[in-house]
Amino acid sequence: MNSGFEDISENIKRIRCNIEEAKVRANRESDDIRVMAVTKTVPYERVNFAVSQGFELLGENRVQEYLEKREHYSEKADVSFIGHLQSNKIKYIIDSVSMIQSVDSISLAEAISAQAVKRGLTMDVLLEVNIGGETTKSGFSADELSESAFRIAELDGIRVCGLMTIPPPENSSLYFEKMQRLYEDMRSLPPKSADIHLLSMGMSADYAEAVRFGTGMVRLGSALFGARTYKA
């Protein structure tokens, strides 16, 4: 074992155990639930160790931090962008991330489309839903999601793959259930050219509960790497 990374090893064991137990309780034993390692402020050496232990899916929150670390990441790393994304920074990441999981407006989707078409690629995206209607968070409201999804799915260079959310910390189960219904609605009548297969919800404090409500991906930072003790 790499010296200095024993804490991550122990956290990985705990996470895998918790997810398996949650799957059994939710009768989802056969489902594959992916774990995303959220890397904000985490040194690349620690990230690479997590990758070596099978946690190859990385979530980047900040463009500048990602640009500084990406050349040091393992070749096995599969990077998604999950933070708030400004339109003028899309060009810096679009060639090196496999998915943008934080599309929170039609205008951002249009900007991603323009950059993708310019490079001759198709970018997978998740639509961010502000399921709690919080004024401090961006994202589509539940009421506008369907119409917005259909409009975005019509754009060139974009493939809508599902939904993501960060619910209010209180009564998370209530919001997870609402998200599950929205996701199932989209799957039953998907927009043309969409590939609806992923619901991403659940973080370090509530990921086991998210499993109960059908999440296909959980995003873990402190549960995996420990509390942040260093500045970005």
How high is the pLDDT of residue 169?
86
For 135, counting Cβ atoms within 10 Å of its Cβ (0-12 exposed, 13-18 middle, 19+ buried), the class is exposed
Count the domains in the chain. 1
Instruction: Please check whether residue 23 lies inside any domain of the structure.
Output: yes
pLDDT, one tens digit per residue, over 2-46 is: 557 999 999 999 999 999 999 999 999 999 999 999 999 999 999
Residue 229 confidence (pLDDT) above 70 = no
Residue 125 confidence (pLDDT) above 70 = yes
DSSP 27-85: T-TT---EEEEE-TT--HHHHHHHHHTT--EEEE--HHHHHHHGGGS-TT-EEEE-S--
Residue 1 confidence (pLDDT) above 50 = no
Residue 68 belongs to domain spanning? 6-225
How high is the pLDDT of residue 189?
85
Write down the pTM of the prediction.
0.94
What's 165's domain CATH number? 3.20.20.10
Mean pLDDT of 196-205: 97
pLDDT, one tens digit per residue, over 87-119 is: 999 999 999 999 999 999 999 999 999 999 999
pLDDT, one tens digit per residue, over 136-167 is: 999 999 999 999 999 999 999 999 999 999 99
Tell me phi and psi for residue 176, to 5 degrees. -60, -40
How high is the pLDDT of residue 2?
54
Residue 213 confidence (pLDDT) above 50 = yes
